[in-house]
Amino acid sequence: MSRLSHALRRLGETPPTLPERITVNGVEAVCDPLGGLYLPEDKVLIVSDLHLEKGSAFARRGMMLPPYDTLMTLKLLEVLIARHDPKVVISLGDAFHDRKGAAHMPAPFRAMIETMARGREWIWITGNHDPEAPAGLPGQSLEMLRLNGLTFRHEPEAGTAAGEIAGHLHPAATVRRRETLVRRACFATDGARLVMPAFGVTTGGMDLAHRAFSGLFEQARLMAHMLGRDRIYSVRFDRLLA
């Protein structure tokens, strides 16, 4: 099932969710099945790689995608924020698919972000797709942020980086369920650092066995916390299918 079709099904349902509680560098975190990470002690919600206005970016290049990506992604974000009511929201880069995305975003979508940001702190971490602050939107823009033993940035740094929470790589994992292969976006973590799943509904994924993840994790401790319909499925790296 594609991320978009999965999102469409989720928006029409309100099943009870079963989040997964983990720790990253000793800090308690909650993996939400919608793809956000919540830090209950500080009431911080993290999402990554929204890739808003991806459809319009492709349209400017003459390539057509379904035009619902921004609306569906923002509706999922509304659900996530209503569920956790965070004091702080951190978007870990690539919130927009290109530099023009924020400026060209239709007014109703801008209003959705303004409503979600009202009464809370909103932080845009810059990414490779959106290296500048989003035009005319609430919140502050930073290259990286350190908070209570954690470091938030868009691209994970090579080597040891205890407490790093990053995005960019869009981790995904595949398992065999009965006779069917199931592939899902996932939170990837060995307890020291975590790479976030992409939140945007039309974003792809990169398997954890890909060389791009080489050296980022201690593989013996690496877990894929896969996004299910209403729960997280946690699978050891050595049980995944390449």
Q: Cβ distance 227 to 185 under 8 Å?
A: yes
* SS3 call for 21: strand
Q: CA triplet 130, 196, 40: central angle to 5 degrees?
A: 110
Q: Cβ distance 161 to 219 under 8 Å?
A: no
pLDDT of residue 91: 98
**Model confidence pLDDT, tens digit, residues 66-117:** 668 999 999 999 999 999 999 999 999 999 977 787 888 999 999 999 999 9
Q: Return the HEC string of 63-129.
A: CCCCCCHHHHHHHHHHHHHHHHCCCEEEECCCCECCCCHHHHCCHHHHHHHHHHHCCCEEEEECCCC
Instruction: Give, to the nearest 10 degrees, the angle between helix 69-84 and helix 107-117.
Output: 10
Burial 120-150 (b: 16+ CB within 10 A, else e): bebbbbbbebbeeebeebbbebeebbebeeb
Question: pTM for the full model?
Answer: 0.91
**Model confidence pLDDT, tens digit, residues 9-55:** 555 555 567 889 999 999 999 999 999 999 999 999 999 999 998 75
30 vs 242, which has greater pLDDT?
A: 30
Give the pLDDT band (50/70/90) at residue 8. low
Four-residue CA torsion sign, 232, 236, 241, 242: positive
Domain enclosing residue 171, as ranges: 3-239
SS3 content of the chain, % helix, strand, coil (to 5): 25, 30, 45
Give the pLDDT band (50/70/90) at residue 146. very high
Give the pLDDT band (50/70/90) at residue 1. very low
Give the number of domains in the chain.
Answer: 1
**163 C-beta neighbours (distance < 10 Å), count:** 18
Region 185-203: what's the mean pLDDT? Answer: 96
> What is the amino acid identity at position 122?
W
